[in-house]
Amino acid sequence: MKYFIHTYGCQMNIHDSEKIAGILESMGYTVCDKAEDADIIVFNTCCIRETAEQKIYGHIGLVKKLKREKPELITVVCGCMSQQEGVAAKIRESYPFVDIVLGTGNLNLLQDAIVAAQKKRKFVDVNFMQYKEEDFLTSRTSYPNAWVNINYGCNNFCTYCIVPYVRGRERSRRSEDIIAEVRNLLSEGYKEITLLGQNVNSYGHDLDSDISFAQLLHKLGAMPGKFRLRFMTSHPKDLSQDVIDAIAEYPNICDNIHLPVQSGSTEILRKMNRHYTRDDYFAIVDKIRAKLPDVGITTDIMVGFPGETEQDFEDTLDLVRKVKFSSAFCFVYSRRKGTPAYSMEQIPYAVKKKRITELIACQNEVTKQISQYMVGKQYEVLVEGENFHYKNTMCGRTESGRLVNFQCDPSRIGEFVTVKIERASSATLWGSIVTEEK
């Protein structure tokens, strides 16, 4: 019996898919490369933007034909999209060949749901009950990196964002459980741990034990051995000095912060309910760079939020030029039903399109400058895997998070090496290994 998982969206979903794989493998399923060969197909969905949703509905539609050819095929839709109001009913009506619909908080029901589906019973449950991470055996797919959830959900309610509605309120895992999981992963040979949370900086606020994110970083950063610790995502309003100090104190914690700015206009930030101004953001960046001069700061930026004027957009471009992000994920604002921004006055698509093109070009120019600065210098890189776009080429990241391509044997995945950067084509860096470290 074989399984195939379609994963859409963020790292949180990639890691959830590893848990789904763990459940399926414990039931005797093995992974396959093509949906056509599978006995169970899982769609682990995303609904952060409308484009993601449309694509997913298209892909689910394709299963109809497979199901006709193989009636015992089981189809599961889970993740953020199925947690949205009305979606479970829509799937039931328009995609009757889907057997199981589960929300974001009840993956623990997957096994029972599959048993029901095998008996030809539909299973739909998007109740917001919450599972415990410790309930699952995870089948990890990203060696030498391992994802570790530290908190779930979000309390921020940025006015454009659907996440608080589909992932629920903030819930932190017990620090003892996180520490035990990281210790196990390191003893299994993982070399990079990425802590995941919608807002890692508010870790611990909801726990009885008095532990902050900075204190958690101290406990993890002090673990013995050579490894890398990263975390995402940080909300600028909550990034504290003691977190910056912890990054500086432990060599194992990477000088790399993902700090979504969303907009460079104070007025738009206010309408977004972000709780910081443009100047606050500059001040945070200065605070970080004062302590971590080689830090790589990455970000998320949106254009076309309701009411964004030409001047607001210019402010965003200006911020991008000044901050010099090592990379930026640039998005066109997408109207999400149920969010406050849905009922604000929207911007024409043509304007959004023009702005996103300009924003991407602006960030590309910044990235190119940083890349050129890196040429000729040496960086420690973790060999992470093959770059399938180029023959015989491996890739890995610098501590600051920049991806580098170089030649080496695939058997060296998981090793730390020193790479000299030889050339750069805008966002892509090319180099070769100069010395070897244990």
Please list, in sequence order, all residues whose beta carbon lies within 8 angstroms of the beta carbon of residue 93, skipping any fewer than 6 positions away: none
327 forms part of the interface with ligand SF4 (CB under 6 A): no
Q: Is the peptide bond before 233 cis (omega within 30 degrees of 0)?
A: yes
228 forms part of the interface with ligand SF4 (CB under 6 A): no
Q: Judged by CB under 6 A, which stretch of 60-68, 113-121, 149-157, 366-374 contacts ligand SF4?
A: 149-157
Q: Which does 298 bind (CB under 5 to 8 A by kind): ligand SF4, ligand 5AD, none?
A: none
For residue 84, what are its two tokens? 């949205």
Query: In the set 199, 265, 371, 398, which binds ligand SF4 (CB under 6 A)?
Result: 199
Nearer to ligand 5AD, 17 or 405 (CB): 17
Nearer to ligand 5AD, 329 or 373 (CB): 329
198 forms part of the interface with ligand SF4 (CB under 6 A): yes
Site track for ligand 5AD across 159-178, x = CB under 6 A:
-xx-----------------
For residue 190, what are its two tokens? 């993982």
What is the distance between the alpha carbons of residues 233 and 52, in angstroms, rounded to a whole number? 20
CB of 329 to ligand 5AD, least distance (A): 7
Nearer to ligand SF4, 55 or 237 (CB): 237
Please list, in sequence order, all residues whose beta carbon lies within 8 angstroms of the beta carbon of residue 363, skipping any fewer than 6 positions away: 301, 320, 325, 327, 328, 330
What is the residue whose two structure tokens read 């620090």? 175
Amino acid occupying residue 104 = T
What is the distance between the alpha carbons of residues 92 and 99, in angstroms, rounded to a whole number? 9
Q: Judged by CB under 6 A, which stretch of 201-209, 267-275, 333-341, 379-387 contacts ligand 5AD?
A: 333-341
Give, in order, the Cα–Cα distances in Å from 411 to each of 386, 408, 429. Answer: 11, 8, 22
Footprint (CB under 6 A) of ligand SF4, residues 151-190: 154, 156-158, 161, 163-164
For residue 18, what are its two tokens? 């590893």
H-helix segments, 136-210 = 163-167, 175-187
Count of residues interacting with ligand SF4 (CB under 6 A): 10
302 forms part of the interface with ligand 5AD (CB under 6 A): yes
Amino acid occupying residue 188 = E
Footprint (CB under 6 A) of ligand 5AD, residues 253-292: 260, 262
Footprint (CB under 6 A) of ligand SF4, residues 15-74: none
Beta strands at 145-149 and 192-196: parallel, antiparallel or unpaired: parallel
CB of 153 to ligand SF4, least distance (A): 9
Nearer to ligand 5AD, 67 or 274 (CB): 274
For residue 191, what are its two tokens? 């070399």
Q: Which does 336 bind (CB under 5 to 8 A by kind): ligand SF4, ligand 5AD, none?
A: ligand 5AD
- DSSP codes, 45-112: E--SSHHHHHHHHHHHHHHHHHHHH-TT-EEEEEEHHHHSTTHHHHHHHH-TT--EEE-SS-GGGHHH
201 forms part of the interface with ligand SF4 (CB under 6 A): no
Amino acid occupying residue 50 = E
Radius of gyration in angstroms for the set of CA atoms belonging to the chain, rounded to a whole number: 22
CA angle 435–437–438, rounded 5-degree value: 155
Q: Which does 331 bind (CB under 5 to 8 A by kind): ligand SF4, ligand 5AD, none?
A: ligand 5AD
What is the residue whose two structure tokens read 């911020």? 319
Query: In the set 3, 8, 333, 379, which binds ligand 5AD (CB under 6 A)?
Result: 333
336 forms part of the interface with ligand 5AD (CB under 6 A): yes
Footprint (CB under 6 A) of ligand SF4, residues 281-310: none
Nearer to ligand SF4, 38 or 261 (CB): 261
**Whether the Cβ atoms of residue 325 and residue 301 lie closer than 8 Å to each other:** no
Question: What does the binding site for ligand 5AD look like in residue numbers (CB under 6 A)?
Answer: 48-49, 160-161, 260, 262, 300, 302, 331, 333-334, 336
- Judged by the rule CB under 6 A, the positions of this chain that interact with ligand SF4 are 154, 156-158, 161, 163-164, 198-199, 235
